[in-house]
Structure formats: structure tokens, C-alpha cells
């Protein structure tokens, strides 16, 4: 199962990167969201899947799944939520002010 | 002693505040006190019974970098020059720089330089020495560019910076080699293990690197080109940095390592040949200059060449003469620079073609000038110190009897002739400087200002230096026993004592001096007849053209290279970064055999998991092909919820809960915002771009898959998770291990995470609020 999950994480990265390379802001934001999904799955897969009970101490159980990746992912989910929302508002403001959401038109190397 | 070095830096901190009152009291008065105090502190070491002093102060012990101060005769000579000339220059600058100038900046740089220079000559630790060395380059850059509204100042500053820092880096290389070979950073300890360095295979390289550092700093041919352009600096700076002290740092460095390096024959060949070449070229070029400071700049170059050549000879007499000349040069050249500054200040011009006949208007200045320039020329009067050291130079060149063969032997026979040649031109430019400015026909109408004698304050400093010229000339023993001897011995490596006489009888050296006098006079009087030679040599061929071309080309090509990939398209940058990641990581993986696949330790494959995975893959691809923005957002939500379900299956309840909430909020946010964004456009880029994007993204995805599989299959270390399982309740007092990790074991991390979220929230709030403001405008 781990290999299938690794492939799935890779697929999420692939689609995320492909979206990231597009010109439209909305697609770029979707791309970053996909990449963070991929990263979470990636971290989880690096540990071992489905070995033992959920990491909540219970009498009589001494085999738990690895809690450390879960803690890392939990932090990451919240952070990527912050990133996604900021990006969304930024995209909204940028396209409002500039009248376009095309990244190729939003380049600014004329003011060097 | 540490305090003495740090004093300028400490005072420099207060200068910006002191300069606020510059209209009441010139900042220079505060600054003058600093070198005076340092001078008095170190003057007490002068005396016949001087012994080297060593002090150590800890700085960065883990890197073997300590303030190890070593005060021997050579350092003492330099310290007294730095603080003595420093005092005079600081005092002189009070009258030279008007209160409306940016005095705060000027004196901060000035003190920065003074402290660094003291650091160079006192440091026994090579890395500390190097640090101070670069600091002098930096402060020199700032001081040359002091009048930064002038094109010339900026050009000169950049030039000096590029050349001296280039040399500084070479020096660092040499020092690193030496300390690597000997295993110590202390110069004294290196010298005691000199056999190791001298017999090392890299010795030629070390010698080259060290000498490059010294030659660039001391403006030796062909690196001298920065010094004439450095004359754009205010005159007190030229007098201080670019004649008396900083340019002698290279001389100091060579003298410091002399006992070790002079064993090598190549040292003799390179240093003395470069020195003599610099002497001849500098003095030849000085006669061609029309700017007073230009003459002095080339004269400084030639005098530095002369000192360098004497150090290159490496004989006892030559080193004594070199050390003596370091002091003499500082006295007469320092005063000449100040005189040039006075002339500039009082007439408004430094162009020798416009000047002339100023003796009647500036009688005191002219008197000082005649003594200083005659001393520089080496005119045989018993009250001119320049004559003594010049004659010692001739003596050293003639009596040099090294048992050498090959090139070195040829050079040895050539040197006396070249020494005379260079000195003839020295004589010519000295006369040219004095007579051209103060004698001849006065044409006052052409000058921007009506000339008159300088204020007393401005005359004090050059007068003291000229007095030094005379006193050293009349009573050389006054400074010889307590002072010069120790410096010469330190540079030579063992006792180097000599009596300084005026009259040696009809020795070869005296005949050489007379030859210089006679030919010099003839050449000076016939300048108009032979000046056209300058059109042929150097003519159009100049090192400056080479330098300018080099700088211009470097700039042009680096602009072309940068523009070729920095075209402002973010997509392109991302592509470049990703390609680099993929290529480098795959490359490393292939080279080191990093990819491992282990089927042994896998969990079972179940149908519902596979189904979720398939749905997620379809949804992820769907985000790309979706033509409608709502569809794209909802499909993205499918991926997120799929992930939450996987979290449930993989026994991560907290993750699943968080993911569900976050996904819901995110989708809601997307739906709020999308309305304001333009609808998705079809993918209308060229098929080439499409293919490229596809290759990059597939490559990256493949890479991540392989990394994930390898990471799972190949466990290098035992997991540290058992620590958390065991201690979750004991230390954290909680049953939910993930929660305990987050709020307890890694609590600070979570705190910062909350801070990040807070900042993001504020940024979002600000971005939305901005709209209102824009509308008002």
C-alpha cells in the first residue's frame, strides 16, 4: 500500500506543479493547494502505514502508529491553510487592481 | 593595548552625535584628540632598551581567532607614523574641510581607517590582520568617494576597491595556506617554523599570493593605477592614507614576513624587480602630470617602489635604509600633500600650468615646500633627511653582493644603474613640483581665487613635518638608537644596527648622488625639449585602458548573462528552479545508488483504499482539464476530502478532523473569491510549452515518488517516535500523543505557527481594507 500511496503523492505533486506553471492566478493557487496535499501524504508515507492503533494511549495496547509524522502534518495543514487563504486574497487584489490575472502580464522588470 | 586599537572605533560611534554641533565646534577637534592620545601612549615605548611586547585578548577562540598583539620595532614605527601623521592630518583637516561638509561621515571613515591600520600593524594573528586589512580597503573606498556627487570620485573609489580587494583576497589565500601548513595562525610561530613553508610544494603559490596582496595595496607596478585616481579624495585623506600610511601596509606586510621569505631567490627577483620598475615608471610618469596631486601620487608610487626594491634586496644595509626611508617619506610627502592642499585651497586650482610665481603670495608655504621637495629629490644638504636614505639606497644597491646566478645575477648588476635612472626622474619631478608652483611668472587672473597665505592652523601641520625633515637631517642619531634600529632589526630578523653619517667620503654612493643632481638639473631645464617622448611612451598604450576595458566587459557580459534568465516571468523562474531540483536530485540518486525498493515491509493493499486513491488521481487531473472555475474548485475539494478519508484509514484521527475543517473553509474561501477572478481560460499556450510543463511536472512527481519509496524502504536510523509514545503521559500528562507533541514537546513550534497564522490574517485584513482607501483617492 505504501508504494501506491507514494505514487498517489507523486501524482498530486505532478498535477500541482503543472497547475503552478500556468498563467492564471486561480490555477496557481489550486496548484499550491495540490502540492501541499501531496506533501502531507508524502510525509505520512515515509513512516509506516497501518501499524498499530491510533496514537491515543489506551490500556492494553502497546503498538501505536507513528505519531511524529502526524504532528508534523497537523502543523503543515494549518500553515498551508494560511498560505492558501493569503494567496487567494492576494490573487483577488492583484487581479482587481491590474485588471488581469495573467502572470505573464503581471511581470515587472521595467523598473529595475 | 587593545583599548588603543579600539579607541578610534569607539569614538567613531559617537561622531555622528558630535557632528550635530559642528557649527559651534568643528568635529575635527574631537577627532584630533584620538591619535594624539594613542601617540602619547605608544611614545613611551621609544628608547634604546626597547623589547618586543606581546599581549593576547580572546575574540573567537573556537576559530583560533584571537587579538594577539605583537609590538616590535617595526610595529612601533608604523604605529607612531599612523598616530603621529594622523594627529597632524586631523588637525589640518579642521581648516581644510568647511563646516558645511558632511563632517560626521568623514570623521567616522577616518577613525575607522585609523583603528584598522593600527590593527594591521599590531596583529600577530593572520586572520585578524586580514580583517583589518580589508577594513582599510573599505574605509579608503569610502574616503575616496567622500565627494560622491563627483563622477571622478566614484570612479576612483571603485577602482581602488576592486584592485585592493582583489589583492586582499589573494593575501587571504596565502595566509590560509601558511596557517594550514604550520598549524598556527600566529605570525611569530609561523616564522619559527619557516622550513615547513619554504620546503612546501606550494611555496611558489604562497609567495605569489602574499606578494599580490602587498603589491596591490602598495600600488606597485602594474597595480599602481588606482593610486592616481584615488587623489579625488579630500587632500587630508591623500596625505594620510595614500602616502603616509595605508599604501605602506603592503610594505609592512613584506617587511613582516621578510626574515622568512627573503631566503628564497624568487623573492629577491620578484620584489626587487617590481620595486625598481615601479620606481622608474612612477618617477617618469610624475613629470608628465599637470595636477599637483597627480605629481605627488606618481611620486608616492615611485617612492614606494624604491622602498619595496630595498626590501627585495634583503641585505642588512638595504633593510635599514628601507625602514629609515619609510619614516622620511612620511615626513616630506605628508607635508607636500598638505602644501598641495593649501595651494588648492588658497588659489582654487591644482593645475600646475595655471599656477606659478606663488612665492610672493604664499611665502611660508613656499619655504616649507622648498625644504620638503628638496628632501624628496635627495639634494645633498645635511639638513634634509631624504638625502640620507637616498644615499643609503644607492649604497645598498652598489654594495649588494648576493651569491646568486642566472637572472638574479643579471638583475643585481643592473640595479645600481636603474636606481640612478629612477632617482634622476625623482629629482626632476621634485623640481618641477616646486618651481612650477612657486617660481616663474605669476598669472593671477587665470586663477579662480586671489591667492593669499593660508591661515595659521593650516600651516601648523606641514610646518611640524618639515621641522621633522630638518631635525632628522641634522641629528639622525636622535631617532636612530631608540627607534629606527629596533624597526630595522625586526624587519631583518636579527640585530641590524648602523650609524647614520652625513659625509661618507667620496664613496660610489656619493658619486651617484652627484650624478643624479647633475643629470637631474639638465633634464629639468630641458623638459620642453624632450617632453614629446611621452607621446611615444606610454602613448596610447596604458594600463588604465586595460582596466577600463576589463571592468566594462565584465559589466556588459554579466548583464547579458543575468538578463538571459531573469526575464521577469515568474513561471520561468519556477521552471528553472524545478529543473535544477530534478536534475540535481536525480543525478545524486543515480550516482550514489540512492534509490531502494523494498517489497518486504509493506502493509496490505485493500480495495477501498485503492478506490479512494483512484478517485483522488482522477480529481487531481480534473483540476487541470476543468474549464469552469467552480468545477475546478469543487474538484480540488474532492482531493482534500479524499485525503481526509485516507487519514482516517491510516489511524490519524486528528489529521482527519483538521483536514475536514480546513478543506471546508478553504473551499468556502475559494468560492467567495472566485467570483471576482476572471473565468478560467482554455490552455492556449503553444504545444512546446505544454510539453515542457508536462515533462517538468511529471519529472518532479516521479522524483517525489521515488524519494518517498526510498525513504520508506531504507531506514537509516531507528525512529525516535518511541520516545514520544513512552513519555507522552509521563512528561506531557496527556493520552493523545499527537496533541502532546504539538502543545508540549514542540510547543514553541506551535506558538510560531499561530504567529504565522496571525500575520497571514492581518495581511488578508489589510489587503481587503486597502480597497476602501483606493476608492477615496
CA distance B317 to chain A (A): 60
> Counting every residue, how long is chain B?
777
Residue B744 pLDDT exceeds 70: yes
Whole-number pLDDT of residue A39: 93
Closest residue on chain A to B614 (Cα)? A8
Sign of CA dihedral B433, B437, B438, B442: positive
pLDDT-derived band of residue B758, with 50, 70 and 90 as boundaries?
very high
Residue B273 pLDDT exceeds 70: yes
What ipTM is given for this predicted complex?
A: 0.92
Distance CA B118, CA B246 (A): 10
Closest residue on chain A to B759 (Cα)? A82
Q: What is the pLDDT of residues B486-519, one digit of tens each?
A: 888 888 888 878 877 777 777 888 888 888 889 9
Whole-number pLDDT of residue B216: 93
Whole-number pLDDT of residue B279: 93
Contact list, A90 vs chain B (CB under 8 Å): 767
Tell if the CB–CB gap between A103 and B681 is shorter than 8 Å: no
Contact list, A101 vs chain B (CB under 8 Å): 677-678
pLDDT-derived band of residue B629, with 50, 70 and 90 as boundaries?
confident
Alpha helices in B439-532 (DSSP H): 456-474, 477-479, 485-492, 508-525, 527-530
Least confidently predicted of B136-145, B533-542, B633-642: B533-542
Interchain CB contact of B567 with A (< 8 Å)? yes
Distance CA B45, CA B144 (A): 33
Q: What is the pLDDT of residues B221-264, one digit of tens each?
A: 889 899 988 888 899 998 898 888 889 999 999 999 988 888 88
Residue B537 pLDDT exceeds 80: no
Distance CA B345, CA B341 (A): 6
Contact list, B666 vs chain A (CB under 8 Å): 33, 81, 84-85
Strands B65-71 and B53-60: antiparallel
CA-wise closest residue to B264 among B207, B179, B181: B207
pLDDT-derived band of residue B160, with 50, 70 and 90 as boundaries?
very high
Closest residue on chain B to A102 (Cα)? B678
Helix H, strand E, coil C: the string for A4-62 is: HHHHHHHHHHHHHHHHHCCCEHHHHHHHHHHHHHHHHHHHHHHCCCCCCECCECCCCCC
CA distance B590 to chain A (A): 19
Tell if the CB–CB gap between B652 and A65 is shorter than 8 Å: yes
Whole-number pLDDT of residue B777: 42
CA distance A4 to chain B (A): 8
State mean pLDDT over B556-560.
Answer: 91
CA-wise closest residue to A16 among B693, B280, B364: B693
Whole-number pLDDT of residue B774: 54
Residue B633 pLDDT exceeds 70: yes
The chain-wide mean pLDDT, for chain B, equals 87
pLDDT-derived band of residue A107, with 50, 70 and 90 as boundaries?
low
Whole-number pLDDT of residue B773: 54
Distance CA B624, CA A22 (A): 10
Whole-number pLDDT of residue B541: 64
Of B623, B651, B681, the CB nearest to A54: B651
Q: Please check whether residue B142 is in contact with residue B161, taking contact to mean a CB–CB distance below 8 angstroms.
A: no
Whole-number pLDDT of residue B776: 45
Least confidently predicted of A21-25, A101-105, B296-300, B496-500: A101-105
State mean pLDDT over B646-662.
Answer: 90
Interchain CB contact of B620 with A (< 8 Å)? yes
pLDDT more than 90, % of chain B: 33
Q: Please check whether residue B292 is in contact with residue B344, taking contact to mean a CB–CB distance below 8 angstroms.
A: yes
Distance from the Cα of residue B455 to its chain's centroid:
37
Interchain CB contact of B683 with A (< 8 Å)? yes
State mean pLDDT over B699-705.
Answer: 92
Q: What is the pLDDT of residues B711-723, one digit of tens each?
A: 887 777 777 888 8
CB-based contacts of B140: which residues, under 8 Å, 6+ apart? B113, B160, B161, B164, B230, B241, B242, B246
Whole-number pLDDT of residue B304: 93
CA angle B344, B350, B356 (to 5 degrees): 100
pLDDT-derived band of residue A111, with 50, 70 and 90 as boundaries?
very low
Whole-number pLDDT of residue B82: 92
Residue bearing the bigger pLDDT, B353 or A9: A9
Tell if the CB–CB gap between A10 and B702 is shorter than 8 Å: yes
Whole-number pLDDT of residue B138: 92
Residue A53's beta-bridge partner residues?
A: A64
What are the domain boundaries of chain B? Answer: 719-777
Tell if the CB–CB gap between B757 and A78 is shorter than 8 Å: yes
State mean pLDDT over B360-382.
Answer: 88
Contact list, B701 vs chain A (CB under 8 Å): 10-15, 17
Residue B275 pLDDT exceeds 70: yes
Closest residue on chain A to B676 (Cα)? A92
Q: Please check whether residue B630 is in contact with residue A25, taking contact to mean a CB–CB distance below 8 angstroms.
A: no
Of B633, B650, B702, the CB nearest to A44: B650
Residue B639 pLDDT exceeds 80: yes
Q: What is the pLDDT of residues B8-59, one digit of tens each?
A: 898 888 888 887 877 778 888 888 889 999 999 988 888 777 888 888 888 7
pTM: 0.76
Tell if the CB–CB gap between B578 and A17 is shorter than 8 Å: yes
Whole-number pLDDT of residue B772: 54
Residue B449 pLDDT exceeds 70: yes
Q: What is the pLDDT of residues B168-188, one digit of tens each?
A: 999 999 999 999 898 888 888
**Per-residue CA distances from B767 to A95, A107, B171, B667, B673 (Å):** 12, 20, 52, 20, 13
Residue A112 pLDDT exceeds 50: no
Distance CA B496, CA B624 (A): 85
pLDDT more than 70, % of chain B: 98
Phi, psi for A24 (deg, rounded to 5): -85, 140
Whole-number pLDDT of residue B768: 81
Task: Please tell me the class of the A2-53+64-101 domain.
Answer: mainly alpha
Residue B700 pLDDT exceeds 90: yes
Whole-number pLDDT of residue B540: 63
Closest residue on chain A to B669 (Cα)? A85
Interchain CB contact of B685 with A (< 8 Å)? yes
State mean pLDDT over B661-689.
Answer: 80
State mean pLDDT over B573-587.
Answer: 91
What are the domain boundaries of chain A? Answer: 2-53+64-101
pLDDT more than 70, % of chain A: 94
Interchain CB contact of B582 with A (< 8 Å)? no
Of A8, A18, A74, the CB nearest to B697: A18
Closest residue on chain B to A21 (Cα)? B571
Neighbour-count burial of B505, counting CB atoms closer than 10 A to its CB (0-12 exposed, 13-18 middle, 19+ buried): exposed
Amino acid at each position: 500500500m505504501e508504494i501506491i500511496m507514494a505514487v498517489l503523492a507523486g501524482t498530486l505533486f505532478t498535477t500541482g506543479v503543472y497547475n503552478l506553471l500556468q498563467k492564471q492566478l486561480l490555477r496557481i493557487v489550486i496548484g499550491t493547494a495540490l502540492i501541499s496535499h501531496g506533501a502531507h501524504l508524502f510525509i505520512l508515507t515515509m513512516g509506516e502505514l497501518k501499524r498499530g492503533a491510533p496514537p491515543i494511549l489506551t490500556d492494553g495496547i502497546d503498538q501505536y502508529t507513528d505519531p511524529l509524522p502526524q504532528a508534523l502534518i497537523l502543523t503543515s495543514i494549518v500553515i498551508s491553510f494560511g498560505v492558501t487563504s493569503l494567496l487567494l486574497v492576494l490573487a483577488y487584489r492583484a487581479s482587481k487592481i491590474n485588471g488581469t490575472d495573467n502572470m505573464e502580464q503581471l511581470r515587472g522588470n521595467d523598473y529595475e | 593595548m587593545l583599548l588603543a586599537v579600539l579607541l578610534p572605533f569607539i569614538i567613531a560611534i559617537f561622531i555622528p552625535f558630535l557632528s550635530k554641533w559642528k557649527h559651534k565646534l568643528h568635529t575635527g577637534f574631537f577627532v584630533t584628540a584620538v591619535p594624539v592620545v594613542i601617540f602619547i601612549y605608544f611614545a613611551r615605548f621609544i628608547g634604546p632598551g626597547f623589547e618586543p611586547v606581546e599581549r593576547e585578548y580572546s575574540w573567537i577562540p573556537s576559530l583560533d581567532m584571537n587579538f594577539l598583539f605583537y609590538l616590535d620595532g617595526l610595529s612601533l614605527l608604523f604605529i607612531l607614523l599612523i598616530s603621529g601623521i594622523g594627529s597632524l592630518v586631523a588637525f589640518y583637516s579642521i581648516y581644510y574641510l568647511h563646516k558645511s561638509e558632511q563632517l560626521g561621515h568623514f570623521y567616522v571613515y577616518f577613525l575607522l581607517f585609523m583603528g584598522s591600520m593600527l590593527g594591521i600593524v599590531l596583529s600577530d594573528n593572520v586572520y585578524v590582520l586580514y580583517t583589518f586589512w580589508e577594513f582599510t580597503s573599505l574605509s579608503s573606498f569610502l574616503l575616496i568617494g567622500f565627494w560622491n556627487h563627483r563622477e571622478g570620485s566614484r570612479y576612483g573609489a571603485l577602482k581602488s576597491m576592486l584592485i585592493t580587494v582583489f589583492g586582499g583576497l589573494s593575501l587571504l589565500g596565502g595566509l590560509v595556506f601558511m596557517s594550514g601548513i604550520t598549524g598556527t595562525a600566529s605570525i611569530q610561530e609561523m616564522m619559527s617554523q619557516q622550513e615547513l613553508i619554504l620546503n612546501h610544494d606550494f611555496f611558489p603559490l604562497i609567495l605569489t599570493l602574499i606578494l599580490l596582496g602587498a603589491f596591490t595595496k602598495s600600488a606597485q607596478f602594474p597595480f599602481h593605477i588606482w593610486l592616481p585616481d584615488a587623489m579625488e579624495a579630500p587632500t587630508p585623506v591623500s596625505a594620510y592614507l595614500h602616502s603616509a600610511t595605508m599604501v605602506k601596509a603592503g610594505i609592512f606586510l613584506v617587511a613582516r614576513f621578510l626574515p622568512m621569505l627573503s631566503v628564497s631567490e624568487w623573492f629577491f627577483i620578484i620584489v626587487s624587480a617590481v620595486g625598481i620598475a615601479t620606481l622608474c615608471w612612477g618617477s617618469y610618469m610624475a613629470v608628465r602630470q599637470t595636477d599637483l596631486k597627480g605629481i605627488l601620487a606618481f611620486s608616492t608610487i615611485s617612492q614606494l617602489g624604491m622602498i619595496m626594491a630595498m626590501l627585495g634586496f634583503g641585505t642588512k644595509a638595504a633593510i635599514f635604509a628601507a625602514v629609515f626611508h619609510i619614516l622620511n617619506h612620511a615626513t616630506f610627502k605628508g607635508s607636500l600633500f598638505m602644501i598641495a592642499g593649501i595651494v588648492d585651497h588658497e588659489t582654487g586650482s591644482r593645475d600646475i600650468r595655471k599656477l606659478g610665481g606663488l612665492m610672493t603670495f604664499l611665502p611660508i608655504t613656499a619655504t616649507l615646500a622648498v625644504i620638503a621637495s628638496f628632501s624628496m629629490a635627495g639634494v645633498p644638504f645635511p639638513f634634509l633627511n631624504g638625502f640620507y636614505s637616498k644615499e643609503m639606497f644607492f649604497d645598498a644597491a652598489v654594495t649588494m653582493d648576493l651569491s646568486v646566478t642566472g637572472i638574479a645575477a643579471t638583475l643585481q648588476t643592473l640595479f645600481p644603474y636603474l636606481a640612478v635612472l629612477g632617482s634622476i626622474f625623482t629629482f626632476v619631478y621634485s623640481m618641477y613640483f616646486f618651481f612650477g608652483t612657486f617660481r616663474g611668472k605669476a598669472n593671477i587672473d587665470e586663477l579662480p581665487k586671489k591667492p593669499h597665505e593660508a591661515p595659521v592652523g593650516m600651516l601648523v601641520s606641514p610646518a611640524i613635518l618639515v621641522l621633522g625633515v630638518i631635525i632628522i637631517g641634522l641629528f639622525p642619531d636622535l631617532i636612530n638608537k631608540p627607534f629606527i634600529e629596533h624597526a630595522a632589526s625586526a624587519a631583518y630578523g636579527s640585530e641590524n644596527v648602523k650609524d647614520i653619517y652625513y659625509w661618507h667620503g667620496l664613496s660610489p654612493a656619493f658619486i651617484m648622488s652627484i650624478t643624479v643632481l647633475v643629470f637631474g638639473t639638465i633634464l629639468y631645464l630641458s623638459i620642453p625639449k624632450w617632453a614629446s617622448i611621452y607621446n611615444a611612451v606610454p602613448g596610447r598604450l596604458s594600463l588604465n585602458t586595460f582596466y577600463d576595458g576589463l571592468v566594462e566587459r565584465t559589466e556588459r557580459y554579466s548583464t547579458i548573462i543575468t538578463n538571459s534568465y531573469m526575464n521577469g516571468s515568474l513561471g520561468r523562474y519556477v521552471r528553472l528552479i524545478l529543473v535544477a531540483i530534478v536534475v540535481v536530485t536525480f543525478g545524486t540518486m543515480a550516482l550514489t545508488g540512492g534509490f531502494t525498493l523494498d517489497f518486504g515491509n509493506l502493509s496490505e493493499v485493500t480495495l477501498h483504499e485503492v478506490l479512494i486513491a483512484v478517485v483522488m488521481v482522477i480529481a487531481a487531473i480534473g483540476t487541470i482539464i476543468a474549464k469552469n472555475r467552480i468545477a475546478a474548485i469543487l474538484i480540488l475539494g474532492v482531493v482534500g476530502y479524499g485525503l481526509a478519508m485516507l487519514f482516517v484509514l491510516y489511524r490519524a484521527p486528528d489529521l482527519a478532523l483538521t483536514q475536514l475543517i480546513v478543506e471546508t473553509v478553504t473551499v468556502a474561501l475559494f468560492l467567495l473569491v472566485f467570483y471576482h477572478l476572471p473565468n478560467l481560460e482554455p490552455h492556449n499556450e503553444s504545444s512546446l510549452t505544454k510539453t515542457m510543463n508536462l515533462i517538468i511536472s511529471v519529472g518532479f512527481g516521479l522524483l517525489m515518488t521515488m524519494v518517498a519509496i526510498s525513504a520508506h524502504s531504507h531506514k537509516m536510523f531507528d525512529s525516535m517516535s518511541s520516545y514520544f509514545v513512552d513519555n507522552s503521559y509521563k512528561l506531557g500528562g496527556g493520552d493523545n500523543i499527537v496533541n502532546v507533541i504539538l502543545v508540549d514537546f514542540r510547543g514553541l513550534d506551535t506558538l510560531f505557527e499561530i504567529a504565522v497564522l496571525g500575520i497571514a490574517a492581518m495581511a488578508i485584513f489589510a489587503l481587503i481594507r486597502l480597497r476602501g482607501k483606493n476608492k477615496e483617492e
